[in-house]
Amino acid sequence: MARKTEKQTTIFQPTAPEFLAWHVTQRGEKSFWNKVGAAWRHKDGQGYTIQLEVVPINGRIVLRHPIEDPASPAPEEEKGA
C-alpha cells in the first residue's frame, strides 16, 4: 500500500513597503515631492531593499512611512458599526 504524502506549497505574498521613496526638489520657498520607489525591511531586520522606479539626477531622496489613505473607509465603517 502506497503512503500518501502531502506537499506544502509556499505562496509568495508581497508585503506592503515599510517606506516610500520620494524625490524632493526645492524651487524657491516651495518643495516638490514625487514618489520614485519604495523600501522593504530585510527578514533579518539588518537592512532594507530599495526599489526605485526612476533615478533622479538632482535633489534628494527621502524615505517616509506610508500614510493611510483618508478617503478609504475604516474597517468599522465598512461593517456599518
Give the distance from CA 68 to its chain's centroid.
Answer: 12
Which has more pLDDT, 51 or 73?
51
In DSSP terms, 26 is beta-bridged to 31
The pLDDT of residue 74 is: 47
* pLDDT tens readout for residues 19-51: 999 999 999 999 999 999 999 999 999 999 999
In DSSP terms, 21 is beta-bridged to 37, 63
Q: How confident is the model at residue 79 (pLDDT cuts 50, 70, 90)?
A: very low
Model-level pTM greater than 0.75? no
Residues 24, 32 contacting (CB under 8 angstroms) = yes
Whole-number Å distance between alpha carbons of 45 and 54: 26
Q: What is the mean pLDDT of the chain?
A: 80
Give phi and psi for 3, each to the nearest 5.
-90, 135
- In the block, cell 478609504 appears at 72
Number of CB atoms found within 10 A of residue 38's CB: 19
